[in-house]
Structure 1
Amino acid sequence: MTTVTKLAVTGMTCGHCVSAVTNELRGVPDVQDVSVELHAGETSQVHVISKLPLAEAALRDAVDEAGYQVADVEVVENAVAAESAAQAPGRQATRMLPIVQS
């Protein structure tokens, strides 16, 4: 099972900010990967991937150590199945062919 913890992080403005947050989060035990969607001067989206749910306090501490704040946390357990289910209606819709009347 894959868990994705989505962090809304404020204060990030550049690639250096992304690097600092990524490095701190990768230091948290059981973190497998980190990806960041930077929105300079706004709330950036940080996805932390792990096999099992992580302690929220550890993630908040890591972001704080990098010099930024976590505004919100969302945990998606069994993320692969959740993503697949969310995309299923779109995949199905693209396979339907229009009926053309002559």
Structure 2
Amino acid sequence: MSTVTTLGVTGLTSADSVARVTEQIEAVERVEHVSIVLESDGESEVSVFSDQPVDEDALRGAVDTAGYAVASVEVQTDALAAQQAEQAPAKQRAHDDAARGADD
């Protein structure tokens, strides 16, 4: 089961701050990958990818150790299935359009 935990982190303003947060979070048990979308004027989006849910307190502690604060947390379990379900209508439309084109 894939899990994506999205943290809203305040105070990130540079590549150095992103690197510090990434290093601390990657040290947390079960974390496989970290992706950060830097928003210097608000909450940066920190996506934490793992096979199993990661301890929220451990993630908050890692961000705190890096010198920043977690403003929000959202956990999506079985993220791959959710992504596939989200993409299914568009794939079906593309399939239907292709089938109609073949009939013309």
- Distance in 2, matches of 1:49 and 1:5, equals 7
Aligned Cα root-mean-square deviation (Å): 1.5
* Larger relative helix fraction: 2
- Of 33-42 and 86-95, more deviation after overlay is shown by 86-95
**TM-superposition CA deviations, 1:15-36 (whole Å, max 9, x none):** 1111011000001011111111
SS of corresponding position for 1:45:
strand
Match of 1:32 in 2: 32
In the alignment, is residue 43 of structure 1 matched against residue 69 of structure 2? Answer: no
- How far residue 90 of structure 1 moved from its aligned partner, in angstroms, is 2.3
Aligned-pair identity in percent equals 45
In the alignment, is residue 9 of structure 1 matched against residue 9 of structure 2? Answer: yes
The alignment's TM-score, normalised by the length of structure 2, stands at 0.87
Match of 2:21 in 1: 21
**TM-superposition CA deviations, 1:59-93 (whole Å, max 9, x none):** 00000111111111111111111111111122223
- Distance in 2, matches of 1:93 and 1:18, equals 39
Map residues 38-77 of structure 1 onto 2, 5 A cutoff: 38-77=38-77
The alignment's TM-score, normalised by the length of structure 1, stands at 0.89
- Distance in 1, matches of 2:41 and 2:20, equals 16
Query: Unaligned stretches of 5+ in structure 2?
Result: none
Query: Unaligned stretches of 5+ in structure 1?
Result: none
Q: Number of residues paired by the alignment?
A: 99
Superposed structure 1 runs of 4+ greater than 4 Å apart:
none
- Distance in 2, matches of 1:77 and 1:13, equals 29
